[in-house]
């Protein structure tokens, strides 16, 4: 063997005892860590969404975006419960407006959500939204219904209000009707005399 090969073998093997040298083990560890970092998934592309806030609803939604996944897009947002009741779910509409011809599509979804009174948290809804987005669309989200343990808040004429907002008519203020939730209300004790 040549002198270079013998010298390399001594460096790698740590001399004559046949064990791997600390230099060689450090090199292997560095290569493994570099490979692990390279295999991290890339940041998921997200698409921002405009929010049409309905002031009379007890829920405030901010920081909305669609996150692309294999099965479609997931809605990620920050939700705040401003009521004194636990929130059980919401219904929302997502409008997609094409930039070229102004064509619209409106998608409605019902989502379960447990949010304590006064709580704020970031949520990613797991129901995928299947869309073909080219990048030039405008997305607008509007809450239509909020369900709590005691009440249901429903936006009256929600589609008309959303259409007016999209068209730029901000004078249309959606009205909200609040009714008792007879299905999910907690059982009250009855005292029989």
* Domain ranges (residues) in the chain: 3-38, 46-180
Neighbours of 95 (CB within 10 A): 22
pLDDT at 40 over 50: no
Calculate the average pLDDT of the chain: 81
Mean pLDDT, rounded, for 53-68: 91
Residue 76's pLDDT is what? 93
pLDDT at 189 over 60: yes
Give 146's strand partners: 90, 153
Residue 160 CA: distances (Å) to CA of 53, 109, 189: 15, 17, 42
pLDDT at 61 over 90: yes
pLDDT at 148 over 80: yes
CATH number for 46-180 (one of 3.30.420, 3.40.720, 2.60.40, 2.20.25): it is 2.60.40
């Amino acid at each position: 063997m040549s002198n270079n090969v013998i010298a390399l073998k001594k460096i790698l093997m740590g001399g004559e005892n046949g064990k791997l040298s600390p230099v060689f083990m450090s090199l292997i560890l560095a290569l493994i860590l570099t490979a692990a970092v390279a295999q991290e998934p890339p940041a998921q592309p997200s698409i921002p969404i405009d929010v049409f806030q309905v002031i009379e609803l007890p829920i405030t939604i901010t920081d909305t975006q669609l996150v692309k996944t294999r099965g479609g897009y997931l809605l990620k947002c920050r939700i705040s419960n401003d009521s004194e009741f636990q929130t059980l779910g919401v219904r929302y509409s997502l409008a997609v407006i094409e930039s070229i011809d102004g064509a619209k599509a409106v998608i409605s979804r019902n989502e379960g959500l447990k949010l304590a009174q006064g709580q704020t948290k970031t949520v990613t809804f797991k129901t995928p939204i299947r869309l073909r987005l080219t990048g030039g669309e405008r997305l607008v989200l509007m809450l239509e219904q909020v369900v709590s343990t005691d009440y249901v808040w429903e936006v009256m004429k929600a589609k008309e209000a959303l259409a007016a907002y999209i068209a730029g008519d901000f004078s249309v203020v959606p009205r909200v009707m609040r009714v008792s939730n007879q299905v999910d209300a907690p059982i009250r004790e009855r005292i029989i005399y």
